[in-house]
Chains A and B, each alone.
Chain A
Amino acid sequence: MAEYSDRKDRTITTRWQISGDLAKFILNQDLTHLDDWGGKEAVREILPEHFQKNFDMIQTDLINCILEEKNKQTAIAFAENISKWGEWLHEQLDEGKKVVYHYFIHTIEPLLALDFAPICFEVLSGLTSALYTDGCEEGIDAIEAEGYPDHLCSSNKGAAGYLLKGYIPQPACFLKGSAPCDTSNRVYEWAAHKYKVPLIVVEAPYYMNERAHKFLTEEIKRMIVKLEKIAGKKLDEDKLRHYIQLSNEAVDYLAKIQDLRKHVPCPDTGWHRPADTIFTAQLGTPFARDYFKALYENVKERVDKGQGVIPEGKKEIRLAWGYTWEAFDLPFFNWLENKHGAIYTEDTLTYFPMDTEMIDTTNMETMLAGLGRRMMQMPMARQVMSFSDVWINDFVDISRAYKVDALAIGGHMACKHFWALNKLLSDKVKEKTGVPTLRFEMDMMDKRFTSPSELKRIMDDFFATF
């Protein structure tokens, strides 16, 4: 049995680690549904004691979803990732490494090379929301109770609330790319002020051109100087190269998976897609590389066999997600496949542009320039930090390349930049490709805003008229 920390400031990360091990345990049994063993209560009784509390917290639908045959391989990779990552993080903390909370558009190779313990702030809310019945609502409620408004992003609110509750480690600093968005910029500023630690801002220029790339590369250099001060050491070129190579491997798998999803029938399942975003925040670690490698092998195997992921006899409806997914109900995408034959091609939050380059590891200059380019291409950063045409053109390209039948545009309540663009996006994609769109409201990490059952009703209505 693994050793689990009982420290309060590791509440969230230990919870994930146990959930990973628990999922592996369950996936190792001969089960296809909890009902096979008499339902959740009955399964609980056969679990080792150290899993039982965690098992009570996990969403039942999620367990049943990952037990479906088509989802099992990816679920094992998912479980391995959060288990190993949790264990690794706690080792880093035990060794006294400093915690840097970073925004999800940063790849973390420089942080790893400087021996920090990096934690993506938004993942704290996202993964917790994805796994547990109560999501990250305790964190959200904690920060709102301090007087901060409900219209801030739940991905920031959840994590900020965990800081207030003492459920996550104290920060050495915060690292924030300036775009997107106002809500995250403000919450990071609040957190740095509250915990009296530096806020390192990496200015993300508005344009997608060479001038912006040069500026961003220089910003990364400036970021490194500031991080070196906090770390008390210089960045080691070979260590950086090592982590970038791992990152390149992961991105290479991601690009291949993206390409394979263009196949008809679509060879990839939808339930793990929010998790893919979560794991892109780990680029540079072996955990991300291993996760995307497993995903690739799973998808490739289906392509080789000419298999899809929807039930036999159903017509495949190819959906693209024009913006976000809801993290709080991963089985929702499995439900779409099984009930409506609707598969998940691409979205804004995991999409790397089709011409994504690998980072050249020849020397420090090429690596930093590559990190700059990658930050510009990171999912969501790319579409949101610049003019609307980047986002619109991406979805025109996606609609064509993936033979998309419909664009589902789930708008995250807090993303004001998106709500100011949603109609243009919908109109332009329709005008240029003829693909119809469905636009609806939700909060990615707070199911109290639009409930899972309401989202299903919206989808049922849409497919009834499709």
Chain B
Amino acid sequence: MTAIEELKKLPSREKNSYIKEWKGDGRNIVGFTCHYAPKEIFAAAGIFPYRLEARGTKETGLADVYYHRFNCTYSRCILQEGLSGGYAFLDGLCFLNGCEQIRRMYEVWKEHVPTTDYQYMITVPHSIYDEGFEWYKEEIFRFKEDLTNNFATRLTKGDLLASIDVYNESKRLLKELYELRKADNPPISGAEAMKLIFAADIMPREKYNALLKEALKEIRSREGIKDYKARIMVGGSPLDDTQLIEIIESLGGIVVTDTLCGGSRNFQEFIEVEKDGDPLEAIARCYYYSNPCPRMMNQFDSRCEYTEKMAREANVDGTILTKIVFCDNHAVECTMIADELEPKGIPVLSLEREHMLTDVGRVRTRIEAFIERISRR
């Protein structure tokens, strides 16, 4: 099996042999729910950080007992996975107050998903400023203490520095992948690329880096894709499945970049530790100050700038911003961004969707019409 094939099969939890392998060695896996979880700390403590996802979830019957139809399907699908035993392999779970719907899952999970013994909540301020950073830094320090005490592990400065190096290496490789996608004839489709990107947060990073390095070699040797009608960027609510991208690409689009939290926003900034600096503080600084999510207030201009930069650099013909129904953060953000980008010559399709992609006919029609509007040929 090639490195690309190996990485592409990972988004399916059942086929993720790394979970079994890790557990088989008696090691711990701790889940996390949000971009602001400091993965380097988990890894430095010998713990495999696993980003919660709900790929392929077909229904939310169990979750709907505790959540409601006014909660977004992303949160309900994740809860469904927890309640139905899909995360029985987790030894712990780190929640964050990223959004109102995910943060409230902390208590439901604690009460009704008894297989996860260890739970922790990291709280992140809603705006970016020095005093807010001090709060977040303290949260990170406390988390590190709690995590290592609970799992009886030691964590040295050297462990943290080594972990930072591993994650920085991932970022370098992912940036390279995104560079390749910018080509006029990209050597990889959006759907394929996203599978490779998603794999980063669901397998041990050292192994991921090795596979991605190998995969990049293969991608570089490919002939580029020419027969597309439009280059597209995607953004908006969390996306952990490639179904939507596959629809876009089946209609003649090619997804060449994104502003997704599990996509490009996940690896933009490297963690720099100054000589004699504190690596824990450097980790906190990087997560807190870079790539603000729409939950962060007074950061709209910076997000808008980032969106425009990503669109221009990848020379896109249009942007598809998707909002999961009842996702307040992205629903407002998508409309505001569209209002800013359209006058600057970047067409935007603001598209409502569910996490379990339903209503496919409507979604296809709207994307088809959008591609027709922005088509190069």
Contacts and interface: CB of A to CB of B under 8 A. Distances in A.
A178 B126 contact: yes
Nearest to A422: B68
Contacts of A388: 104, 106-107
A389 interface: yes
Interface stretch (B169-177, B223-231, B249-257, B322-330): B322-330
Nearest to A441: B70
A186 B294 contact: yes
A201 interface: yes
Contact of B331 (A151, A215, A222, A413): A151
A182 B127 contact: no
A417 B107 contact: no
Contact of B332 (A148, A180, A422): A148
Contact of B350 (A147, A389, A415, A424): A147
Contact of B295 (A152, A185, A415): A185
B108 interface: yes
Contacts of B336: 190, 193
Interface string A173-188: 0001011111101111
A186 B333 contact: yes
B106 to A, nearest CB: 7
B329 A205 contact: no
Contacts of B350: 147
A181 B332 contact: no
Interface in A371-397: 387-389
A11 to B, nearest CB: 25
B289 interface: no
Contacts of A218: 131
A443 to B, nearest CB: 10
Contacts of A40: none
A183 B107 CA distance: 22
A411 B126 contact: no
Contacts of B72: 416
B331 A179 contact: no
A413 B69 CA distance: 10
Given A186-B332, A199-B298, A388-B107, A417 B70 contact: no
Interface string B95-118: 001011101111110010000000
B75 interface: yes
A203 interface: yes
A202 to B, nearest CB: 10
Interface string A422-441: 11100000000000000001
A189 B292 CA distance: 14
Interface residues of A, number: 47
Given A186-B333, A203-B125, A203-B135, A181 B294 contact: no
A416 B73 CA distance: 12
B65 A179 contact: no
A416 B125 contact: no
A417 B352 CA distance: 21
Interface size class on chain B is 35 or more
Contacts of B127: 178, 201, 203
Given A185-B295, A189-B297, A419 B331 contact: no
B338 interface: yes
B107 A389 contact: yes
A199 B68 CA distance: 32
Nearest to A146: B335
A178 B297 contact: yes
A420 B100 contact: yes
A416 B326 contact: yes
A299 to B, nearest CB: 35
Contact of B123 (A205, A219, A441): A205
A181 B135 CA distance: 19
A182 B107 contact: no
A147 B333 CA distance: 11
Contact of A182 (B106, B135, B328, B338): B328
A207 interface: yes
A195 interface: no
B101 A420 contact: yes
A186 B296 CA distance: 9
A420 B325 contact: no
Interface of B: 65-68, 70-72, 75, 97, 99-101, 103-108, 111, 121, 123, 125-127, 131-132, 135, 294-295, 297-298, 300, 323, 325-326, 328-329, 331-333, 335-336, 338-339, 350, 352
Counting from the closest, the 6 A-B pairs by CB-CB distance are: A420-B104, A419-B68, A186-B332, A178-B126, A206-B123, A417-B100
9 contacts: A151-B326, A151-B328, A178-B125, A186-B294, A199-B298, A207-B123, A420-B100, A424-B66, A424-B107
